[in-house]
Amino acid sequence: MENVKHPLSKYLREDRMPHMWCPGCGIGTAMNAFMHALEKSGLEKNDIAVVSGIGCTGRVAGYVDLDSFHTTHGRAIPFAEGLKATKPDTKVIVISGDGDLMSIGGNHFIHAGRKNMDLTVICVNNLNYAMTGGQVSATTPVRSITATAPHGSFTTPFSLPFLAEASGAVYVARWTVFHIRELQKAMLEAINKKGFSFVEVISPCPTLYERRNKMGDGLARMKFYKENSIVKNGADTKETNIEINKPFVVGKFIDIEGKPTYLESMNKYYDETFQCQLGYKTYKGTRYSCNISDGGVSEGCMDD
């Protein structure tokens, strides 16, 4: 048995197992789907970078055997923007939770969408801040009990597909961790998509959100997802609100082609503006440059 390996072990830092997620948590399932999507994408490991923020899902960056960055709370997206703009050939994927990406980091999310930054954002939405003990987040449904809403939450949550579409995302899908195949497919499509792509993964937090709201264990939640997910591809994202203990819509909502990314817009504009100017070359990324420079991408000087 000693030679038996996980079929996706090449993407895993096995020296960091076991992971720190609770029994019944959906993040491991989401990460599994993500690794399947990577495998199917055909991308070389060296062409992928993973960026996470802080929180339970933020720990994904620590478990994938790729160039991976565990950044600050809410700021994975702007970090990823700097990474991508400097090395545009890399597929940069942001994986983090609802507290991180949508609550503290919501401003970065909408601006990255507006600019159509060429990033894939995967948000594992467990409807609360899990790492810090289950507080109310920007996605917590009204009337949910949380650590900081002990009498029930009363603020309107974001509907993430609606927010993503309004911000300018070119790909928007939502599935639960029950929908493993659909999740893998959505992640693969998002990864292959040029521009700002977004996948929401509805996931249980049995230790905190589900326990406080008497929703049962991880398995009970799977049954709930199975019975209450309304698959509606192409649904209007205005219909994707999540209410406590009520059915909700899943599916692929947005998938559009041809919208120029941030760098494509910049290059198109600058190519026209700087046409005959000395020194101008279409931007293809930048590396620390030295006196052996060649356009935007400077090689050499690594061996100094």
Partner 1 sequence: MKADPKGVMTGTHYLDGDHAACEGALAAGCRYVAGYPITPSTEVVERFAGRIPCVGGIFMQMEDEIASSIAIQGAVWAGAKAMTVTSGPGFSLMMEHIGLAIMTEVPCVFINVQRGGPSTGLPTLPAQSDMMQARWGSHGDYEVIALCPNSPQECFDLMITAFNMSERFRTPVMVMMDECVGHMTERVVIPKAEEIEIVPRKYTKKTPAEYKAYLPNDNLVPEMAEMGKGYNFHITGLTHDEKGYPAMNEESQKKLVSRLINKIQNYKKEIILIEKDGLDNADVAVLSYGITSRVAEKAIIDAKAKGIKVGKARLKTVWPFADEFILELSKKVKAIVVPELNAGQVVREVERAAKGNCEVISVPHLGGGVHRPEVILDAIVKGAQGGKR
Smallest gap from Cβ 200 to partner 1, in A, equals: 22
Identify which range of 24-32, 197-205, 212-220, 277-285 contacts partner 1 by CB under 8 A.
277-285
> For residues 54-78, b (16+ Cβ closer than 10 Å) or e, as one string?
bbbbbbbbebbbbbbbbbebbbbbb
Which CB, 257 or 304, lies closer to partner 1?
A: 304
- Chain positions 225 to 264 lying near partner 1, rule: CB under 8 A, are none
> Cα dihedral angle (201, 205, 210, 216), rounded to 10 degrees?
100
Minimum distance between the CB of residue 51 and partner 1, rounded to whole angstroms? 8
Establish if 296 lies at the interface with partner 1 (CB under 8 A).
yes
Cα separation of 118 and 2, whole Å?
41
Under the binding rule (CB under 8 A), the answer on residue 290 touching partner 1 is: yes
- Which is nearest to 31 in space by CA: 220, 223, 187, 218? 187
Which lies closer to partner 1 via its Cβ, residue 49 or residue 186? 49
**What distance, in Å, lies between the first and last C-alpha atoms of the chain?**
47
- Residue from 36, 108, 221, 252 in contact with partner 1 (CB under 8 A): 108
Q: Is the dihedral of CA 159, 254, 231, 121 positive or negative?
A: negative
**Interface characters, 48-87, with partner 1 (x: CB under 8 A):** -x-x---------xx--xxxxxxxx--x-xxxxxxxxxxx
Q: Give the range of 148-156, 181-189, 193-201, 295-303 binding partner 1 by CB under 8 A.
A: 295-303
Largest CA distance in the chain: 68
* Window 33 to 52, contacts with partner 1 (CB under 8 A): 45-47, 49, 51
Q: Is 245 left (phi over 0), alpha (psi -120 to 50) or beta?
A: left
Q: Is there a cis peptide before residue 157, judged by omega within 30 degrees of 0?
A: no
Residues 4-33 close enough to bind partner 1 by CB under 8 A = 13, 16
Instruction: For the CB of residue 73, give the shortest distance to partner 1 in the complex, in Å.
Output: 8
Matching residue, tokens 């003990």: 133
**d(C-alpha 209, C-alpha 66), whole Å:** 31
For partner 1 (CB under 8 A), the number of binding residues is 57
Neighbours of 233 (CB within 10 A): 12
Q: CB of residue 163 vs partner 1: minimum separation in angstroms? A: 15
Interacting residue ranges for partner 1, rule: CB under 8 A: 13, 16, 45-47, 49, 51, 61-62, 65-72, 75, 77-87, 90, 107-108, 111, 266, 270, 273-274, 277-281, 283, 285-291, 293, 295-296, 298, 301-302, 304
